[in-house]
Amino acid sequence: MDKKPVLVILAAGMGSRYGGLKQIDPVDDYGNLIIDFSIYDAKEAGFEHVIFIIKKSIETEFKDLIGDRIANEMEVSYAYQEIDNIPENFIIPEDRIKPWGTGHALLCAKSVINSPFAVINADDYYGKKAFKDIFQALSNQKDGEKYQYVMAGYQLSQTLTEYGHVARGICTLDDSHRLRKIQEKTSIEKRGEAAAFTEDDGRTWNELSADTTVSMNFWGFTESILDELEDRFEKFLSRDLPANPLKGEFFLPSVVDELLHEEKAEVTVLPSFERWYGVTYKEDKEAVVKAIHEMKASGQYPEKLWETLSDTAQCARITDALKAFQFTGTLHRCERYGNGHINDTFRVDMIDNGEEHSYILQRINHEIFRNPKTLMKNITRVTEFLRERILENNGDPERETLNLIPDKEGNNYFIDVLGNYWRAYLFITDADCFSQIEKLDHFYESAKAFGRFQKLLSGFPGDQLYETILDFHNTPLRMETLKKAIREDICGRAAAVENEIRFIMERESQLGIAMELLHSGALPLRVTHNDTKLNNVMIDRTTEKGICVIDLDTVMPGLSIFDFGDAIRFGANMAAEDETELSKVSMSLPLFELYVRGFMEECGSSLTTMEIRMLPMGAKLMTLECGIRFLTDYLQGDTYFRIHRENHNLDRTRVQLALVKDMENKWKCMEDIVDNYIRLNWE
């Protein structure tokens, strides 16, 4: 049986003060909450298992925002505090909504606790020392004649706020640091260096000295407390509740106090002189953020805290972003959207006078796009240019190109307090994005859309575009990065991917073909999309035409064969980009032919014969390059492409390489398709 001390976190009331967990403000630039710092300290002190006590109603949100991320670091279990979780012979008073209190919360975790355990509140910052002391005490403690418990004792002056009153457990100690009694005072105010409390709404005040020991609800118990809680909760329900049926609470410290009076328990107080931090009042937040910042600067915490930072944590400021943009109406729904590997994308639905207005809200991945402001300049220019062309062709610019929504200050992006960049677009309704071909025609239509995109942008001055990612499709350079990742092998994964590395190395001499033709002038530099996956084009549900090319982050000077090639890599593959059954991977020649036709019909007349002849090579190079990039990311610890499972980037690599192999087998046919097309249509 697990007898190592575990950490129990009272989190059932978390977020209730803010109207939801997502509204809790992070306390650093990485979206971490106070609870993250407590868990970090607990892990450092030796705890390996956390039990969260939460309400069922917040379960999904809790796991999303906190639990799943912590599960990467510690063993995580859950217990649920519900108001109807009371002994059978009792009836919940009518109109009772208030939970039954901290004693009841802990009781709800009885079945999952089977070792000594520490208890903390989710919202309080306790400091490293308290975790170390409590863990050590629990590791050595056993009940004797009396139950042996511990408590972290804080100095009252270290736990007050400037901004209002607080509730604290006032402790009386004996000479050997044992707790004699603990009394909850709910209205304590700071008075200079000391404090005072009132129990009659401020008519009279009783002074408290600065060094009074107080409890912040950080306890260390043996399992014995759980039986005591069970027993006493029944007594509370029958004896105390009738006097206050709607508000009466069963408090953990009161139970400890009773046990002390009955001389059943001994509580050793472990003194902490550290400062407590919490956000009782919104004005407290600034001090917490500052303290965390300073503790990071002095090396007490690493910058990022956790290695794996959840997307949700990164997006913790979405509420600010939602308020920042000029959306019409009031918020109805906001949820994660799409299958992009790079940005955090949300669909936002607003309601105005019964009418729905939908938008796409994106947090730009600024780790990848290092200069989001210039990126947004590109997108603004490109969409304005396309808008004019679409109007000239009597099209509908609201559906045929992306439409940026400005923020309330008129900017095309919004920067939140964590330094995240957000942008918003009109949501293109009644259209779909496909991750795999469902209908042949859709692929043809996507080819036409990307071909048209290329043609429409042919008049766009390429020198006005910033390179949002340098050397994006410089395949030989991508190869150098892979070699570096193999040499450094920071995750120790290289040995296991020898076959994949060999496959790529065997083709190294081919990687520079396109770059050489560019440098010799044989292939012209154009304005291209550079990320022509099928799911970066929207297909109209009614007309089934490729209506709008999206994901404009990489619109830059580039090669037309790359736009063609990347689309083949993704859309002409009979398997998904991350298929694990490699026998399903194959490049469909009919799909290849279809794409050649659609692409050429739209932009063929503006391509040179050399460009057209090199289309198959574009497909092969883009597939190899993508395999190189996925493998590099796998070796470097999956920091670039968003992954959804273990070895995801390795699975993606293997698909790309299998596809390259299949293209090599079909090479002659691919060239024939293109040659035939030239012969029939151009000669």
Longest alpha-carbon distance in the chain: 103
Q: Using CB under 6 A, which of 217, 314, 535, 653 touches ligand ADP?
A: 535
Q: Using CB under 6 A, which of 70, 241, 292, 342 touches ligand GN1?
A: 342
User: With CB under 5 A as the contact rule, which of the stretches 8-16, 242-250, 335-343, 459-467 interacts with Mg ion?
Assistant: 335-343
How far is Cα 565 from Cα 360, in angstroms, rounded to an integer? 28
The site string for Mg ion over 499-538 (x = CB under 5 A, - otherwise) reads -------------------------------------x--
Q: Using CB under 6 A, which of 147, 154, 218, 425 touches ligand ADP?
A: 425
Q: Using CB under 6 A, which of 35, 428, 437, 624 touches ligand ADP?
A: 428
Neighbouring residues of 603: CB distance < 8 A, sequence distance ≥ 6: 451, 452, 454, 455, 458, 560
According to the binding rule CB under 6 A, does residue 547 interact with ligand ADP?
A: no
- Shortest Å, Cβ 535 to Mg ion: 6
Q: Which residue, 346 or 595, has its beta carbon nearer to ligand ADP?
A: 346
Q: Which residue, 22 or 347, has its beta carbon nearer to ligand ADP?
A: 347
Residue 678's Cα: distance from chain center in Å? 48
Q: Interaction with Mg ion in 531-570: which residues (CB under 5 A)?
A: 536, 551
According to the binding rule CB under 6 A, does residue 268 interact with ligand GN1?
A: no
According to the binding rule CB under 6 A, does residue 427 interact with ligand ADP?
A: yes
According to the binding rule CB under 5 A, does residue 407 interact with Mg ion?
A: no
Q: Tokens 């994106």, residue?
A: 362
345 binds, among Mg ion, ligand GN1, ligand ADP, none (CB under 5 to 8 A by kind): ligand ADP
CB 530 within 8 A of CB 566: yes
C-alpha dist (Å) from residue 132 to 2, 40, 118, 161: 19, 12, 11, 25
According to the binding rule CB under 6 A, does residue 526 interact with ligand GN1?
A: no
Q: Hey, what's the torsion of the CAs at 307, 308, 309, 311, to 10 degrees?
A: 160
138 binds, among Mg ion, ligand GN1, ligand ADP, none (CB under 5 to 8 A by kind): none
- Shortest Å, Cβ 471 to ligand GN1: 12
Q: Which residue, 315 or 596, has its beta carbon nearer to Mg ion?
A: 315
Q: Using CB under 6 A, which of 46, 271, 329, 338 touches ligand ADP?
A: 338
According to the binding rule CB under 6 A, does residue 390 interact with ligand ADP?
A: no
Q: Which residue, 362 or 632, has its beta carbon nearer to ligand ADP?
A: 362
- Degrees, nearest 5: CA angle 449-452-457: 125
- Shortest Å, Cβ 652 to Mg ion: 15
According to the binding rule CB under 6 A, does residue 628 interact with ligand ADP?
A: no
Q: Using CB under 6 A, which of 531, 579, 611, 651 touches ligand GN1?
A: 531
> How many residues line the site for ligand ADP (CB under 6 A)?
19
577 binds, among Mg ion, ligand GN1, ligand ADP, none (CB under 5 to 8 A by kind): ligand GN1
**Which amino acid is residue 643, in one-letter code?**
I
Neighbouring residues of 186: CB distance < 8 A, sequence distance ≥ 6: 165, 167
CB 160 within 8 A of CB 166: yes
**What would the 3-class secondary structure string for 241-256 be?**
HHHCCCCCCCCHHHHH
Q: Which helix (H) or strand (E) holds 496?
A: none
Q: Which residue, 339 or 464, has its beta carbon nearer to ligand ADP?
A: 339
- Shortest Å, Cβ 327 to ligand ADP: 14
Q: Using CB under 6 A, which of 360, 511, 523, 643 touches ligand ADP?
A: 360
337 binds, among Mg ion, ligand GN1, ligand ADP, none (CB under 5 to 8 A by kind): ligand ADP
The site string for ligand GN1 over 568-607 (x = CB under 6 A, - otherwise) reads ---------x------------------------------
**What is the number of helices (H) and of strands (E) in the chain?**
22, 21
Phi, psi values for residue 184, rounded to 5°: -80, 125
Q: Which residue, 215 or 535, has its beta carbon nearer to ligand ADP?
A: 535
Q: Which residue, 341 or 666, has its beta carbon nearer to ligand GN1?
A: 341
- Shortest Å, Cβ 432 to ligand ADP: 8
Phi, psi values for residue 115, rounded to 5°: -160, 170
CB 35 within 8 A of CB 122: yes
Q: Which residue, 14 or 402, has its beta carbon nearer to ligand ADP?
A: 402
478 binds, among Mg ion, ligand ADP, ligand GN1, none (CB under 5 to 8 A by kind): none
How far is Cα 324 from Cα 320, in angstroms, rounded to an integer? 6
How many other CB atoms are found less than 10 A from the CB of residue 43?
A: 17
Nearest one of 639, 632, 657, 642 to 479, comparing CA atoms: 632
Neighbouring residues of 665: CB distance < 8 A, sequence distance ≥ 6: none
CB 577 within 8 A of CB 585: no
Q: Which helix (H) or strand (E) holds 62?
A: helix 59-62
**How does DSSP assign 228-291, residue by residue?**
HHHHHHHHIIIIIGGGSTTT----HHHHHHHHHHTT-EEEEEEEE-SPPB--SSGGGHHHHHHH
Q: Which residue, 402 or 485, has its beta carbon nearer to ligand ADP?
A: 402
- Shortest Å, Cβ 566 to ligand GN1: 6
How far is Cα 109 from Cα 80, in angstroms, rounded to an integer? 7
Q: Using CB under 6 A, which of 342, 655, 663, 673 touches ligand ADP?
A: 342
C-alpha dist (Å) from residue 599 to 340, 457, 529, 605, 615: 23, 14, 13, 10, 11
Q: Which residue, 362 or 653, has its beta carbon nearer to ligand ADP?
A: 362
Q: Which residue, 338 or 637, has its beta carbon nearer to ligand ADP?
A: 338
Strand order in the sheet with 330-336: 330-336, 344-352, 355-364, 421-426, 414-415
The site string for Mg ion over 336-365 (x = CB under 5 A, - otherwise) reads ----x-------------------------
Q: Which residue, 217 or 649, has its beta carbon nearer to ligand GN1?
A: 649
**Which amino acid is residue 609, in one-letter code?**
T
Helices (H), 415-557: 440-456, 475-488, 498-505, 513-519
User: With CB under 6 A as the contact rule, which of the stretches 189-197, 269-277, 306-314, 340-348 interacts with ligand GN1?
Assistant: 340-348
Q: Using CB under 6 A, which of 148, 157, 215, 343 touches ligand ADP?
A: 343
Q: Using CB under 6 A, which of 551, 563, 593, 611 touches ligand ADP?
A: 551
Q: What is the SS3 assignment for 127?
A: coil
Neighbouring residues of 336: CB distance < 8 A, sequence distance ≥ 6: 344, 345, 346, 347
Q: Using CB under 6 A, which of 133, 551, 633, 651 touches ligand GN1?
A: 551
Q: Which residue, 292 or 655, has its beta carbon nearer to ligand GN1?
A: 655
How many other CB atoms are found less than 10 A from the CB of residue 477?
A: 16
According to the binding rule CB under 6 A, does residue 626 interact with ligand GN1?
A: yes
- Shortest Å, Cβ 567 to ligand GN1: 10
362: tokens are 């994106």
Chain contacts with ligand GN1 (rule: CB under 6 A): 340-342, 531, 533, 536, 551, 553-554, 566, 577, 626, 641
Chain contacts with ligand ADP (rule: CB under 6 A): 337-343, 345, 360, 402, 425, 427-428, 433, 535-536, 550-551, 553
Chain contacts with Mg ion (rule: CB under 5 A): 340, 536, 551
